[in-house]
Structure 1
Amino acid sequence: MPGPKRHHYNAEMWQERFVNGDGGLWVYNKKQPDRGVIPLMPKDTFVVGHLYSTVEADGSRGSSAPQFPETPYKRTGSAEG
């Protein structure tokens, strides 16, 4: 089974600490300045294709990124007790 292709250079779990009431992050893409500042979901923010993939000897892409479960981890309580 091939590994993930969408790799975040800022983890989604970190981004989720800064979302607005609708779950989006306010972002500005300097490659598309005409769009201005827009809300994007963490799954679509700070993501690059094959950022942590390896290139195998035959030219195919492998995955050196750790494999995580498909369902995200949920916060169950405060770390302070």
Structure 2
Amino acid sequence: MQHIGSRGIHPRTFHIDPSGRMLVAEHNLPVTVRDGDRLRVVAAGLSVFRIGGDGKLEFIRKYDIDVGDESMFWMGLVEL
């Protein structure tokens, strides 16, 4: 149906909220990538997508998370 970039490297886990309207993908490690003739770091973090009525994803935003020398192993959402 659709391919969409996750806006990070190595998306390890994802979760769909209980309403079925939002998906969050977790990128567990910061990764250094070549960008032209320089290097830059793509941060670990959480990418948030809206799930449309047709099931397609729309990127909302990415929350960069400083994990230092560690990695995020898992993420999930809870309903309050």
TM-score, normalisation: structure 2:
0.26
- Which is strand-richer, 1 or 2? 2
How high is the TM-score relative to the length of structure 1?
Answer: 0.26
Which structure has the larger Rg over C-alpha atoms?
1
